[in-house]
Amino acid sequence: MQDGRSKKLKLTLAVVSFVTASFLTCSAQARTAHRNVHTASSHHHRSSGHVIQCVAYAKSASDVVLHGNARDWWHNAAGVYDRGLEPKAGSVLNFRATRRMPLGHVAVVRNIVDSRTIVIDQSHWAQAGISRNVSVIDVSPNNDWSAVRVALNNRNSYGSIYPTYGFIYPHSASKNATPDSLKQEVMTAWANKMPATQLAQAPAGAQPVATLP
For residue 95, list its beta bridge partners.
105, 164
Q: How far is CA 138 from CA 76, 115, 146, 162, in A?
A: 24, 8, 8, 10
Q: How far is CA 1 from CA 6, 8, 9, 12, 51, in A?
A: 9, 11, 12, 17, 77
- Return the amino acid letter for 106: V
Q: What is the C-alpha to C-alpha distance for residues 49 and 205, in angstroms, rounded to an integer?
A: 66
Is pLDDT at 3 greater than 80 in this prediction? no
List, in order of start, the domains of the chain with CATH numbers.
54-172 (3.90.1720.10)
- Determine the 3-state secondary structure of 140 from DSSP: coil
For residue range 103-114, what is the model confidence (pLDDT) as tens digits? 999 999 999 999
What's the mean per-residue pLDDT of the chain? 74
Contacts of 67 (CB under 8 A, 6+ apart): 76
pTM of the full structure: 0.60
pLDDT at 202: 32
Least confident of 3-17, 111-125, 194-208: 194-208
Which residue, 114, 128, 190, is CA-closest to 159? 128
pLDDT at 47: 31
Question: Which alpha helices (DSSP H) does the chain contain, by range?
Answer: 2-49, 54-61, 73-76, 179-193
- Determine the 3-state secondary structure of 83 from DSSP: strand
For residue range 132-178, what is the model confidence (pLDDT) as tens digits? 999 999 999 999 999 999 999 767 799 999 999 999 999 887 655 44
- Estimate to the nearest angstrom the gap between the alpha carbon of 16 and the chain centroid: 63
For residue range 42-95, what is the model confidence (pLDDT) as tens digits? 332 233 357 899 999 999 999 999 999 999 999 999 999 999 999 999 999 999
